[in-house]
Copies of this chain bind each other. A is one copy, B any other.
Amino acid sequence: MALVVQKYGGSSVADAEKIKNVARRIAATKEKGNQVVVVVSAMGDTTDDLIKVAYQISGKPDSRELDVLLSTGEIVSSTLLAMALHSIGYPAISLTGAQAGIKTDATYSQARILKVEARRVVKELEQGNIVIVAGFQGITEEMDVTTLGRGGSDTTAVALAASLGAKICERYTDVEGIYTADPRVVPEAQRLAEISYEEMLELASYGSKVIHPRAVELGELYNIPILVASSFTENQGTLIHREVSMEVRNKVRSIAHDMDVAKIMVVGVPDRPGIAAAIFEALAAANVSVDTIVQNASIDNITDLTFTVAQSQLDKAMAVVEPIARSIGARQCISDARLGKVSIIGTGMQNTPGFAARMFGALSEQGINIQLITTSEIRITCIIEESQVKDAVRVLHRAFRLDTEI
């Protein structure tokens, strides 16, 4: 008997009818002879609503208490889903993160899973139960409740799949799968039948919100295939796994984009050891996440240092960087708050020349100016004006023939 782990997002369990629908899907999986473990998110906007109440009470809610509060959202949906399965005749039991043995460190609001002690899950499966686990939460050594931060329920699902030896982790939301570009931007975008972990990681890190990179990383580490599909249709979705078919024709798999980029340029920096460290250590201490970093080759021992942050973090970052820039004798700090990035991603591009040239050419023909370029082995990213990002995605989707060849 194979074991399947399924994960349903908040939109899939947003109300009583949707929960019943999910129960029927789970039942169908069980009927195929599988053991089933299900991980659920909180219903619809529950988490946001709980956060709102917390902030009505305290301007700065304690993170331990906030975690306890938020964990209730997933507990509610897990019990309701168990009841829905009972009502159509399937034995099921809900378990909290603690009961399911999701052991984490004590970093409230963004705890990391240390291990999964799945004895109770295994026992309930052996007794014939469908096991519904509250996602997004775990428990510390001291029995305090934690939450896993962004992508938390996906991570719960993949971690359970890994520790139980599941054949697959199926992840259902209101999104049909991974596309050649965001279908809201490119209506002709096509769903990919499969994608490699590496490609998905680049895609997720460079703008796709469909699945959090953290869950994909864990999937790759334990070689758990992850299916991304919709709970509202019977479409097959996209399988994230190791061995993508050799027959994939288009070496570019997908265009990722991100509208939330701001740039800081420290101009005229003396090129001495320790300067970059001084700046980025200070940003890290201020809890600013830096994304792309570019430093040009120096001329006369003077160089320019450019990096990007999320737009919402620009002011905080400037407040950190400007005094440092002055103290090291840099000429000035320039910022631009309205940028975005567009990336082409595909393992097939590796060692194949010409993709960069084709990308830059297509953008240039459209009159889109490239401000920064960064690449990995399977990705090329251009930072451009925010207002031109959607055009750029459409242009590249056509230029790489993603509307016809996938």
- Taking Cβ atoms with an 8 Å cutoff, the residues of A that contact B are 16, 19-20, 50, 53-54, 56-62, 64-66, 68-69, 71-72, 75-76, 78-80, 82-84, 86-87, 93-94, 96, 98-99, 120, 143-145
| Most chain B beta carbons < 10 A, residue from A75, A80, A86 | A80
A65 near B50: Cβ-Cβ < 8 Å = no
**Do B69 and A84 touch (CB < 8 A)?**
no
Q: In the assembled complex, how far is the CB of residue A133 from the closest CB belonging to chain B, in whole angstroms?
A: 12
A94, B65: Cβ atoms under 8 Å? yes
* B-chain residues with CB within 8 Å of residue A16 when the two chains form the complex: 53, 56-57
Q: Which residue of B lies closest to A81 (CB)?
A: B57
- Minimum CB–CB distance from A221 to chain B (whole Å) comes to 29
Q: Which residues of B contact A64 (CB under 8 A)?
A: 93
Cβ-neighbour of A72 out of B58, B65, B72, B86 (below 8 A): B72
In the docked arrangement, what's the CA distance between A145 and B61, Å? Answer: 26
CB A173 to nearest CB in B, in angstroms, measures: 20
Q: Which B residues are in CB contact (< 8 Å) with A68?
A: 75, 78-79, 94, 96
Complex alpha-carbon distance, A65 and B80, angstroms? 8
**Contact between B84 and A58, CB atoms less than 8 A apart:** yes
Asked if A79 and B56 sit within 8 Å, CB to CB, the answer is no
Q: How far is the CA of A65 from the CA of B78 in the complex (A)?
A: 9
Given known contacts A16-B53, A53-B16, is B59 in contact with A79 (CB within 8 Å)?
no
Counting every copy of the chain, the complex holds 2
Question: When the two chains form the complex, which single residue of B57, B72, B87, B120 contacts A87, counting CB atoms closer than 8 Å?
Answer: B57
Per the bound structure, the CA–CA distance linking A76 and B70 in Å amounts to 8
Please report the C-alpha to C-alpha distance between residue A162 and residue B342 in the assembled complex, in whole angstroms: 65
A243 and B59 CA atoms in complex are apart in Å by 46
- CB of A194, distance to nearest CB on chain B (Å): 35
Residue from B50, B59, B93 in contact with A76 in the complex, judged by beta carbons closer than 8 Å: B50
Interchain Cβ contacts under 8 Å between A and B, 23 examples = A16-B56, A16-B57, A19-B57, A53-B80, A54-B80, A54-B83, A57-B83, A57-B84, A57-B87, A58-B84, A58-B87, A61-B83, A62-B82, A62-B83, A64-B93, A65-B82, A65-B83, A65-B93, A66-B79, A66-B83, A68-B96, A69-B76, A98-B143
- Minimum CB–CB distance for A27 against chain B, Å: 14
Chain B residue numbers with a CB within 8 Å of A69 are 75-76, 79-80
| Shortest beta-carbon distance from A38 to chain B in Å | 14
Q: Are A62 and B50 in contact (CB under 8 A)?
A: no
Nearest CB of B to A103, in Å: 14
Complex contact A86–B99 (CB within 8 A): no
Which B residues lie within 8 Å of A145 (CB)? 96
The distance in angstroms between the C-alpha atoms of A101 and B56, with both chains bound, is 30
A65 B53 Cβ-Cβ under 8 A: no
Q: With the chains together, A66 CA to B12 CA distance in Å?
A: 21
Give the distance to chain B from A130, nearest Cβ to Cβ, in Å.
12
